[in-house]
């Protein structure tokens, strides 16, 4: 059986992507390269956060077959906005609108937590008609750091020395990178997971050389206004609940191969390797994952509200393209013209 590819952005950037099955691995740099490898039949599986999973589902004929499970058997996580505590002081009614003209940090273009939900919130708040998602963000914020897994689809004006290009290997990619952007004062607001600041602050278990600030220096910004101390449980300060990251395969995967993959996923010996560091297995899942469970729903149903929000953003970009003369340069994720070839 060919190697099965997984992607995890919570570990070493130089070893981000792995193909693993029958103890066989290949290394890729970006989700786009991974999807291309799957298309060529070089790999079978990829692990994606739900925003990118929707792109794989919509544009690359892929489906979710398993999802991560987190602490307390949770199969979702909360998306939040984190800001500097000093911004909240004496401003009980501060809201996202108060950050218009300020700087933003996004873990990745097209991701659920770092892009789709914040964009959807901005769409509801402001009247920027006929703007693509990237144009809307640049209109609202003075500078933006939003790395991307897809070539040419990033905004790097707020990424410091990376302002020329900020690809998937950016120091500011993923939720940890978005928080780093805030810590290093490149941005004023970061869109991350509820536990990101706890994990990567100076006293956090995953603190890095850049983790120079305490958790007490930051607060959640609540969607309805106001701030709240960070404790990992944002309550009403959650912008949304996001389904867990998923392992995806081609729709055309053979029943024999799918059965073998599902059997592997449920094998306790194999899953234990995810936490013992065998054959690079610790790279496969996010740092918050505690295990895997099979996805028994259709992919769109599993993604739930996120699928509708992601679709509305794609339609926003499509309308812009239809209503504007061609420029030869688009930022929306292209739909493959050879979907049946996957």
Assign residue 254 a region (left: φ > 0; alpha: ψ between -120 and 50; beta: otherwise). Answer: beta
Does residue 130 share a domain with residue 11?
no
Evaluate whether 147 touches 30 at the Cβ level (below 8 Å).
no
Tell me which residue range forms the domain holding 53: 5-73+244-303
CA distance 300 to 62: 11
Does residue 120 share a domain with residue 207?
yes
Does residue 182 share a domain with residue 119?
yes
Tokens (6 digits) for 178: 């978005």
What's the whole-model pTM score? 0.82
- What average pLDDT does range 98-124 have in this prediction? 94
Does residue 66 share a domain with residue 113?
no
Candidates 196, 263, 290; CA nearest to 234 is 196
Number of domains in the chain: 2
CATH code of the domain containing 145: 3.40.190.10
* Domain assignment of residue 168, yes or no: yes
CA distance 132 to 129: 9
Confidence of residue 287 (pLDDT cuts 50, 70, 90): confident
Does residue 206 share a domain with residue 169?
yes
Evaluate whether 241 touches 233 at the Cβ level (below 8 Å).
no
171-188 per-position pLDDT tens digit: 999 999 999 999 999 999
């Amino acid at each position: 059986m060919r190697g099965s590819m997984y992607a995890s952005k919570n570990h070493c950037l130089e070893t981000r992507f792995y193909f693993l099955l029958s103890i066989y691995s290949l290394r890729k740099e970006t989700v786009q390269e991974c999807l291309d490898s799957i298309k060529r039949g070089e790999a079978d599986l990829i692990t994606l956060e739900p925003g990118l999973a929707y792109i794989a589902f919509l544009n690359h004929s892929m489906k979710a077959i398993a999802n991560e499970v987190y602490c307390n058997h949770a199969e979702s996580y909360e998306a939040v906005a984190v800001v500097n505590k000093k911004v909240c002081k004496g401003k009980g009614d501060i809201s996202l609108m108060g950050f218009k003209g300020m700087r933003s940090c996004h873990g990745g273009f097209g991701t659920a937590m770092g892009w789709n939900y914040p964009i959807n919130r901005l769409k509801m708040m402001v009247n920027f008609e006929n703007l693509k998602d990237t144009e809307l963000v640049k209109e609202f914020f003075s500078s933006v750091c939003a790395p991307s897994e897809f070539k040419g689809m990033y905004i790097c004006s707020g990424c410091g020395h990376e302002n020329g290009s900020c690809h998937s290997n950016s120091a500011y990619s993923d939720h940890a990178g978005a928080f780093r952007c805030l810590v290093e004062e490149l941005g004023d607001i970061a869109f991350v997971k509820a536990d990101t600041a706890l994990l990567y602050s100076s006293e956090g278990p995953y603190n890095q050389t850049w983790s120079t600030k305490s958790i007490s220096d930051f607060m959640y910004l609540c969607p309805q206004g106001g701030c709240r101390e960070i404790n990992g449980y944002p309550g009403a300060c959650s912008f949304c609940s996001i389904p867990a990251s998923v392992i995806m395969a081609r729709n055309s995967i053979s029943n024999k191969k799918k059965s073998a993959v599902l059997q592997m996923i449920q094998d306790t010996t194999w899953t234990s390797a995810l936490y013992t560091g065998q054959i690079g297995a610790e790279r496969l899942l996010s740092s918050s994952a505690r295990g895997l469970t099979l996805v028994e729903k259709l992919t769109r149903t599993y993604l739930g509200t996120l699928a509708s929000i992601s679709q509305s953003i794609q339609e926003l970009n499509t309308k812009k393209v239809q209503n504007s003369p061609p420029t030869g340069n688009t930022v929306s994720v292209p739909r493959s013209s050879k979907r049946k070839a996957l």
